[in-house]
Amino acid sequence: MASVAITPMESNFLVPNATFFVELAAFALLLFLLGKYVIPPINRAMTARQDAIRAQFAELDEAKSEAHAAEEEFKSQIADARHEAARIREEAREQGAQIIAEMREQANAEAARIVEHAHAQIEADRKAAMAQLRSEVGTLATTLAGRIVGESLEDEARQSRVVDRFLSELEGAR
């Protein structure tokens, strides 16, 4: 049986040696430096970015609500404008009908006035024609009667009576 002797040069892998402690110190130093100088700025940048994203989402939600409110207001204004346009059209239609009725009334009144004036003018012309006709017929009748009778009928009173009698006989014969 041979005895196994452990020499101080041989090391047990379970027992840490000086290299392990140097590596452990370097790792701790690296971890400290990363924790102290590298990770906090990264965390601040990530936190700032998250806050910016949250603010953008909040602004987006606010813009959406403003857009919806503006859209509703626009739709309301459009509806109001349509109602106003319909009201204006209806008023214009009513005013047009009223104007047409007034113009018809004026035209009828003007036509009646023209007809009345024409009747009056015709009556005046008829009377003037009758007066002129009486005068001419009277003169012709008295001249003719004077020739037939052989007497002069120059007397105004006699001439007037003869003409009136002749014209009344003519009117009675109608």
Asked if residues 137 and 163 have their Cβ atoms less than 8 Å apart, the reply is yes
Q: Is residue 71 within 8 Å of residue 79, measured between CB atoms? A: no
Q: Confirm if 134 and 163 have CB atoms less than 8 A apart.
A: yes
pLDDT digit string (tens) for 8-25?
Answer: 556 677 777 888 899 999
pLDDT given at position 26: 96
Note whether 137 and 166 are within 8 A (CB).
yes
Q: What is the pLDDT of residue 153?
A: 61
Element (H, E) at 130: helix 39-149
> What is the predicted pLDDT for the residue at 143?
76
- The amino acid present at 104, given as its one-letter code, is R
Rounded to 10°, the helix 39-149/156-173 angle is: 120
pTM given for the model: 0.40
pLDDT at 127: 87
Residue 14, pLDDT score: 76
| pLDDT for position 11 | 65
Measured CA distances, 140 to 95, 114, 127, 133, 163 (Å) = 65, 38, 19, 10, 10
What local confidence, expressed as pLDDT, does residue 152 receive?
63
What does the pLDDT read at residue 111? 93
- What pLDDT does 38 receive? 92
- What is the mean pLDDT of each successive set of 10 residues along the chain, which is 174 residues long? 55 78 95 94 95 95 94 95 95 94 94 93 89 78 72 67 76 75
